[in-house]
Structure 1
Amino acid sequence: MSQTMIIRLLKTSIVLGLCLIVTGHTLIVSSYFTVNHGIKGIIIAAACIAVGVLLSLPTKIYLTVLLMEAEKRYLKNHKSTHSK
């Protein structure tokens, strides 16, 4: 799999994770959902938040590492062109 495809997949994972976090928060805040479903509703909302965090955080770390490597390569190339 190419690096562009991996980055696109990770960005999609981040967006999906953030959507799940917002959905879980909305479900917990809405009194209609928690009153009708009781403790199971709270568990469902908490599960949405947990899956959202699992999807979003590791991908952010990976993308940060990729960006740091790209910046390091850029600075190395930029420094070598100006030193000549």
Structure 2
Amino acid sequence: MSQIIIIRLLKISIVLGLCLIVTGHALIVSSYFTRQHGINGIIIAAACIAIGVLLSLPTKIYLTILLMEAEKRYLKAHSHKHK
């Protein structure tokens, strides 16, 4: 796969992960949901948060590494021009 496709998939994964985290938090805070579903509702909300964290954190690390590599190439290219 090309790097552009990988970055798009990672960005989608980040957005999906953040949406799951916000959804899980909203479900826990919602008194109606926890009253309606009891302990199973809390487990569902916690699972949403856990899956959201799993989706969002590794992709952020990978994108940070890609940005650091791009910055190295940029600085290397511009340091040769100024000499």
TM-score (structure 2 length as normaliser) = 0.99
**Counterpart mapping for 1:1-84 below 5 A:** 1-83=1-83
Q: Which ranges of structure 2 fall in alignment gaps of 5 or more residues? A: none
Tell me by how many angstroms 1:41 deviates: 0.2
* Runs ≥4 residues deviating over 4 A: none
Alpha-carbon RMSD across the aligned residues, in angstroms, is 0.3
Cα distance in 2 for residues equivalent to 1:74 and 1:48:
39
Distance 1:68 1:76 in 2: 12
Aligned residues: 83
Structure 1: which 5+ runs fail to align?
Answer: none
Identity of aligned residues (%): 83
Q: CA deviation at 1:44?
A: 0.1
Distance 1:7 1:62 in 2: 9
**TM-score normalised per structure 1:** 0.98
